[in-house]
Amino acid sequence: MKIGLQFAMPMELHALPGAKALSPFETVSGVPFFRLGPDLLACAGGVGKVNAAMAAEIFCLRYGVDLILNAGVAGCMTDLPTGSLVVASEFVQHDVDTTAVGDPIGLVSTVNQVAFPTWEPERCAALLKELGVSAVTARVATGDWFAVKGDRATGIRDTFSPLLTEMEGGAIAQVCLRSGVRFAALKSVSDHLFSDRQAEEYFDFGEALQKLGSVVLPLAKKLQEEA
Question: 204 pLDDT exceeds 90?
Answer: no
* Overall average pLDDT of the 79-91 stretch: 96
The per-residue pLDDT for range 37-48, each reduced to its tens digit, is 999 999 999 999
pLDDT of 203? 83
pLDDT band at 108 (very low <50, low <70, confident <90, very high): very high
What angle, rounded to 10 degrees, do the helices at 206-225 and 121-130 form? Answer: 100
* Overall average pLDDT of the 108-132 stretch: 97
Of 60-69, 74-83, 176-185, 195-204, where does mean pLDDT reach its minimum? Answer: 195-204
* Overall average pLDDT of the 150-174 stretch: 97
Helix, strand and coil percent figures for the chain, each rounded to 5: 35, 30, 35
Cα 170 to chain centroid, rounded:
8
| Structural contact between residues 131 and 124, judged by C-beta atoms closer than 8 angstroms | no
Classify domain 3-220 at the CATH topology level: Rossmann fold (3.40.50)
Question: 227 pLDDT exceeds 80?
Answer: no
pTM for this predicted structure? 0.96
Question: 188 pLDDT exceeds 80?
Answer: yes
Each domain of the chain, given as residue ranges in start order, spans 3-220
Q: What angle do CA 124, 160, 201 make, to 5 degrees?
A: 70
pLDDT band at 58 (very low <50, low <70, confident <90, very high): very high
